[in-house]
Amino acid sequence: MTDRQPTARDLARATTRTRITAAARARLTEEGPAQLSLRAVARDVGLVSSAVYRYFPSRDDLLTALLVQDYDELGAEVEEADAARDRTDVGGRWISACRAIRTWSITHPGDFALLYGSPVPGYAAPPETIEPATRATLVLVRIVIDAMTGKDLPDCRVDPVAGDPGDVVAGAVAYIRSRGIAEDAPPEAVMRTLMAWTAVFGTVSFELFGHYVGSVDDHERYFDLVVERLAADIGFAASASASD
Amino acid sequence: MTDRQPTARDLARATTRTRITAAARARLTEEGPAQLSLRAVARDVGLVSSAVYRYFPSRDDLLTALLVQDYDELGAEVEEADAARDRTDVGGRWISACRAIRTWSITHPGDFALLYGSPVPGYAAPPETIEPATRATLVLVRIVIDAMTGKDLPDCRVDPVAGDPGDVVAGAVAYIRSRGIAEDAPPEAVMRTLMAWTAVFGTVSFELFGHYVGSVDDHERYFDLVVERLAADIGFAASASASD
DNA sequence: TGTACATCAGTGAACGCGCGTTCACTGATGTAC
DNA sequence: TGTACATCAGTGAACGCGCGTTCACTGATGTAC
């Protein structure tokens, strides 16, 4: 059970596995995850359909592999966009991270639909997908928390009459604490962060699924304007004029 | 070609047509629109599959009928919720309209996925679906425009550094004018309305598709808090404490 | 280094299934005189 | 009111298709001695 030199067989296996998931992801661009056909994927890879069962015990396991891979890829790109900015430049980090989400999504619309579109009927994502799923979101949370450091965020632009989100977002607050990101995050800031996260993905979703047709043409600029306003609503400035 | 007394055949035809669409919508709850099977629908209705072709020339036409019916039903409920409030009570109308969107959506999750989830691969919604699709959205727009009347909305809570949305939302502004809703709507208000509309559906989408698991438990209260903040960001108050 | 055996990637046929759509038909309903 | 014909909702068989999964097989690769 010790790690050993990978054999030719091991290497071939890894390669073929990659080719299968790559072919599956390519298919996702043209057909929904629910329509994803194991036989079609096998054909694309140049395998007979039954051979795929050497790699994935069932179609659902292939779906799970795609889910994990996609969440991880998206998460890595958002983390990278965040890390490329100076840590104190929270506005720049915010813009970069949000843009990374949109860029990955429009570059991989099929994968976006898998992650954030309608769930696949009859398929329940297993627990192993949870951690990868939170990576992109956590980047946004960390930026907001860093923006709060030393500042009394938020003056969150909310009307004093509005309800206290304290216990409504208690789950999110606890999660942030459990991940060691912050001991105590102001509920209003967490509320606004949840809203911003939702808005970012909602905006990308509406762009990709065609709901802005007739209202917005320049999706890239519109997205930047949205992202600026979301930061302002949380309580910090994020000017899109900063270079990407 | 003049309208005549409907015959027994006409009545039966209308009834059966309704039973078909109803059965199809019921199926949508358990399977995605792309999986919607004409044969399964026929079975549910108690017809042989070929009989459905007396009513819909193809599966795609059935989908179109569902799309129109769902957009219209959602639109009607949102219009009704809006109309039930005093016209000057813009805050109350906003809350009611947004709540109507959520209520319809969680009551008809399959239909919601059809309208706002991933598009059906290989199916392009025909032009006749456009007008019904805008009904719910236009209610929100009208409320914002009414809120602006006599007021200098928005003091929209946006940072002065943020970009001018003028030409980015030009399409939406022109559409509002073309529908005779307002001669000139401030671009920032339109921008914020687009954002709010996106946020409302994004929030419902995240609730239905499971992305809030672990962060939010009480979706109804969370939704109200979101809706209040969206109104505040546009520039008017909408307290959820008002009775529905 | 060479041999004997074990592992396992990939094959190809087969299974049972449900799908959208077509077609010739039947019998009930509607219309014209 | 009665008859002859036209319309059309619904039937049932058939078409060709692609699907997920199983299974016995083959031959190449890996391992133990």
Residue of A135, A9, A2 whose CA lies nearest to A67: A135
Distance between CA atoms of residues B29 and B27, nearest Å: 5
Contact between residue A34 and residue B35 where contact means Cβ atoms under 8 Å apart: yes
Distance between CA atoms of residues B234 and A180, nearest Å: 35
Distance between CA atoms of residues A231 and A96, nearest Å: 12
Categorize the per-residue pLDDT at B1 as very low, low, confident or very high, splitting at 50, 70 and 90.
very low
User: In the predicted model, what is the mean pLDDT of chain B?
Assistant: 92
Contact between residue B135 and residue B72 where contact means Cβ atoms under 8 Å apart: yes
Q: A146-168: per-residue pLDDT in tens?
A: 998 767 665 666 666 677 898 99
Q: Which residues contact B152 (CB under 8 A, 6 or more apart)?
A: none
Q: A53-95: per-residue pLDDT in tens?
A: 999 999 999 999 999 999 999 999 999 999 999 999 999 999 9
What are the tokens at B9?
Answer: 């055949």
Contact between residue A104 and residue A71 where contact means Cβ atoms under 8 Å apart: no
Question: Among A34-48, A107-121, A188-202, B229-243, where is mean pLDDT lowest?
Answer: B229-243
Helix axes B219-234, B187-208, angle to 10 degrees: 170
DSSP structure string for A84-152: TS-TT-HHHHHHHHHHHHHHHHHHSHHHHHHHHSSPPTT----GGGHHHHHHHHHHHHHHHHHHHTTS-
Size of interface A-B (CB pairs under 8 A): 182
Rg over CA atoms, chain A = 21
Position B150 scores a pLDDT of 66
- Distances in whole angstroms, Cα of residue A184 to Cα of each of A168, A170, B22: 15, 11, 50
Contact between residue A83 and residue A38 where contact means Cβ atoms under 8 Å apart: no
Interface test with A, best of B168, B173, B179 (most A CBs within 10 A): B168
Contact between residue A25 and residue A113 where contact means Cβ atoms under 8 Å apart: no
DSSP structure string for A212-242: TTTT-S-HHHHHHHHHHHHHHHHTS---TTS
Contact between residue A196 and residue A233 where contact means Cβ atoms under 8 Å apart: yes
Are B199 and A199 within 8 A, CB to CB?
A: yes
Are A191 and B113 within 8 A, CB to CB?
A: no
Torsion (CA) B54, B59, B63, B66 in degrees, nearest 10: 30
Name the nt closest to B15 by C-alpha to C1': D9
Task: Give the ranges where chain B is alpha helix by DSSP (H).
Answer: 8-28, 38-45, 59-83, 90-107, 109-116, 130-148, 170-178, 187-208, 219-234
Q: A215-234: per-residue pLDDT in tens?
A: 999 999 999 999 999 999 99
Q: A102-130: per-residue pLDDT in tens?
A: 999 999 999 999 999 999 999 999 999 99
Helix axes A130-148, A187-208, angle to 10 degrees: 120
Distance between CA atoms of residues B173 and B163, nearest Å: 17
Position B2 scores a pLDDT of 47
Q: Which nucleotides of C are covered by protein (CB under 7 A)?
A: 8-14, 18-24, 29-31
Position A1 scores a pLDDT of 41
Categorize the per-residue pLDDT at A25 as very low, low, confident or very high, splitting at 50, 70 and 90.
very high
B6 or A195, which is more confident: A195
Q: Which nucleotides of D are covered by protein (CB under 7 A)?
A: 8-14, 18-24, 29-31
Q: Which residues contact B73 (CB under 8 A, 6 or more apart)?
A: B104, B108, B111
The amino acid at residue B89 is: D
Name the nt closest to B53 by C-alpha to C1': C21
Residue B186: is its pLDDT beyond 90?
Answer: no
Q: Vertex B169, ends B177 and A236: CA angle to 5°?
A: 135
How far A71 CA sits from the closest chain B CA (Å)? 13
Q: B42-97: per-residue pLDDT in tens?
A: 999 999 999 999 999 999 999 999 999 999 999 999 999 999 999 999 999 999 99
Q: B27-43: per-residue pLDDT in tens?
A: 999 999 999 999 999 99
How far A241 CA sits from the closest chain B CA (Å)? 8
In chain A, residues with a C-beta closer than 8 Å to the C-beta of B233 are 157, 229, 233
Span CA (B19) to C1' (D3), Å: 36
SS3 label, residue A187 = helix
Categorize the per-residue pLDDT at B158 as very low, low, confident or very high, splitting at 50, 70 and 90.
low
Position B163 scores a pLDDT of 77
Distance between CA atoms of residues B228 and A159, nearest Å: 8
Residue B4: is its pLDDT beyond 70?
Answer: no
Q: Which residues of A123-158 are buried (b: 16+ CB within 10 A; e: fewer)?
A: eebeeebeebbbbbbbbbbbbbbbbbeeeebbebbb
Q: B111-141: per-residue pLDDT in tens?
A: 999 999 999 999 999 999 999 999 999 999 9
Distance of CA A75 to the CA centre of its chain: 6
Position A19 scores a pLDDT of 98
Distance of CA B179 to the CA centre of its chain: 18
Helix axes B59-83, B130-148, angle to 10 degrees: 20
Distance between CA atoms of residues B11 and B156, nearest Å: 53
pTM comes to: 0.95
Contact between residue A236 and residue A153 where contact means Cβ atoms under 8 Å apart: yes
Torsion (CA) A90, A92, A95, A98 in degrees, nearest 10: -60
Across the range A47-52, mean pLDDT stands at: 97
Distance between CA atoms of residues A202 and B77, nearest Å: 22
What is the separation, in whole angstroms, between the first and last Cα of chain B? 46
Q: Tokens 């057909």 — which residue? A: A31
Q: A137-146: per-residue pLDDT in tens?
A: 999 999 999 9
